[in-house]
A = this chain, B = another copy of it.
Amino acid sequence: MLKATVHVTLKPGVLDPQGKAVQHSLAALGFGGVEQVRQGKYIEVDLAETDRERAHATLDAMCRQLLANTVIENYAIDIAAADIAE
């Protein structure tokens, strides 16, 4: 089994109303000096696959087809260094 993580973030320049809302809430709570907040998604995927290259290709396809909207979002795939035997 391979454990992978995917970060999906808005591309630079794309408005992030959710991040802005968090920033304003932080200000309302008294946290000053917050210059920017951007919110993205963090997805952990456990794959029944042992080949890292194949896993990466599969995850890339998952991102393009479902996990990310590539028009406005970037994604980054990380596969944990070692196979985890369970």
Contact = CB atoms under 8 A, between A and B. Distances in A.
Interface residues of A, number: 34
A38 B43 contact: yes
A20 to B, nearest CB: 12
Copies in the complex: 2
Contacts of A31: 58, 61-62
Q: Of A9, A38, A45, A66, which is in contact with the most chain B CB atoms at under 10 Å from its CB?
A: A45
19 contacts: A7-B42, A8-B42, A9-B42, A25-B66, A26-B66, A29-B65, A33-B48, A34-B47, A35-B47, A35-B48, A36-B44, A36-B46, A37-B43, A39-B41, A39-B42, A39-B43, A40-B42, A40-B44, A41-B41
